[in-house]
């Protein structure tokens, strides 16, 4: 069975600093995709970044980058130059290729950016 | 980018009422939509996968007769919570997949009194 583990219930970072949110995953399938979503207090889920299991390079999207270490089964999210608006819950999720492509989510990390 | 609209955003109703939540993909066709439930300070739990033109696939432990799902078109899926009780109070959120990642609606906060 697929599983996502986020070990940091909460993280604090100073504005303009970088922060890394941890995510490890477990799957026996060779083909999978990893996602990060942001959920502000208003509740909507905002897609941030995607990494495919066969992608050779780490994904980057603006201030977001994904530190993908396949051998360690980790897919940590790095947010550079944190902004106050980055304060939110962050969820790591995994999609297994084939079938319905449903997502399995981690428990999330609450990020607080301090001024 | 892809937009998913979910309606209503908030529902407060009496115990025993049935509540319908709509999920629409506005600018793409979605053969598959997903319904999630999220309790306060917890993660999203997949309830069911909604397939256009066929029966939904429910996750283990989710009551099919309690949570009715209809996916009548490529842009609309509905979740009906039948005879809702206080324990059904939760945040329900749908997602749809076109080309690329799943895109989520804004969610529905359901409060059963």
Quick one: what percent of chain A has pLDDT higher than 70?
A: 97
The whole-chain average pLDDT of chain B stands at 92
What does the DSSP assignment read for B26-53? Answer: SSS--SEEEEEEE-TTS-EEEEEEEETT
Put simply, the answer to whether A43 touches B49 (Cβ < 8 Å) is no
Two tokens, residue B80:
């009906």
pLDDT for residue A105 is more than 70: yes
pLDDT mean over B76-97: 95
User: In this structure, what DSSP letter does residue A87 have?
Assistant: -
Q: Is A42 touching B (CB cutoff 8 A)?
A: yes
Residues 74-103 of A with CB under 8 A from B: 91, 95, 100-103
pLDDT for residue A12 is more than 80: yes
Please tell me the distance in Å from B50's CA to the nearest CA on chain A: 9
Confidence bin at B27 (pLDDT 50/70/90)? confident
d(CA B54, CA B39): 28
Q: Is A44 touching B (CB cutoff 8 A)?
A: yes
Confidence bin at A32 (pLDDT 50/70/90)? very high
- Give the closest residue to A110 by CA, choosing from A4, A6, A3: A6
pLDDT tens digits along A39-85 = 999 999 999 999 999 998 999 999 999 999 999 999 999 999 999 99
pLDDT tens digits along B29-64 = 888 899 999 998 899 999 999 988 888 999 999 999
Quick one: what percent of chain B has pLDDT higher than 70?
A: 98
pLDDT mean over B78-102: 91
What SS3 state is found at A111? strand
pLDDT of residue A98: 65
B61: exposed, middle or buried (Cβ count in 10 Å: 0-12, 13-18, 19+) = exposed
pLDDT of residue A97: 66
pLDDT of residue B101: 82
Two tokens, residue B81:
């919570």
Nearest CA in chain B to A4: B43
Q: What is the CA radius of gyration of chain B?
A: 13
Contact A69, A77 (CB under 8 A): no
Give the DSSP H or E segment for B102.
strand B102-104
d(CA A31, CA A37): 20
pLDDT for residue B1 is more than 60: no
Contact A7, A107 (CB under 8 A): no
d(CA A77, CA A62): 12
CB atoms inside a 10 Å sphere around CB A107: 17
The whole-chain average pLDDT of chain A stands at 94
pLDDT of residue A62: 97
Two tokens, residue A53:
């299991």
Confidence bin at A1 (pLDDT 50/70/90)? confident
Q: Out of A37, A43, A95, name the one closest to residue B91 (CB).
A: A43
User: In this structure, what DSSP letter does residue B73 have?
Assistant: E
A5: exposed, middle or buried (Cβ count in 10 Å: 0-12, 13-18, 19+) = middle
| H-type alpha helices, B1-113 | none
Put simply, the answer to whether B93 touches A45 (Cβ < 8 Å) is yes
């Amino acid at each position: 069975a697929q599983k996502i583990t986020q070990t940091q219930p909460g993280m604090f970072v100073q504005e303009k600093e970088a922060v890394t949110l941890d995510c490890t995953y477990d799957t026996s399938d060779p083909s999978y995709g990893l996602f990060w979503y942001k959920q502000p207090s208003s509740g909507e889920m905002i897609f941030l970044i995607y990494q495919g299991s066969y992608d050779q390079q780490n994904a980057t999207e603006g201030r977001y980058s994904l530190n993908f270490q396949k051998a360690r089964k980790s897919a940590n999210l790095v947010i550079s130059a944190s902004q106050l608006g980055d304060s939110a819950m962050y969820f790591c999720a995994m999609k297994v290729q084939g079938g319905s492509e449903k997502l399995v989510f981690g428990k999330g990390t609450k990020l607080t950016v301090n001024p | 980018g892809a937009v998913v609209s979910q309606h209503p955003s908030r529902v407060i109703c009496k115990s025993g009422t049935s509540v319908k939540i709509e999920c629409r993909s506005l600018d793409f066709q979605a053969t598959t939509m997903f319904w999630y439930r999220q309790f306060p300070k917890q993660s999203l739990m997949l309830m069911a996968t909604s397939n256009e033109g066929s029966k939904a696939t429910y996750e283990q432990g989710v009551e099919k007769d309690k949570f009715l799902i209809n996916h009548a078109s490529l842009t609309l899926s509905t979740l009906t919570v039948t005879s809702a009780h206080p324990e059904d109070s939760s945040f329900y959120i749908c997602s749809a997949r076109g080309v690329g990642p799943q895109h989520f609606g804004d969610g529905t906060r359901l409060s059963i009194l």
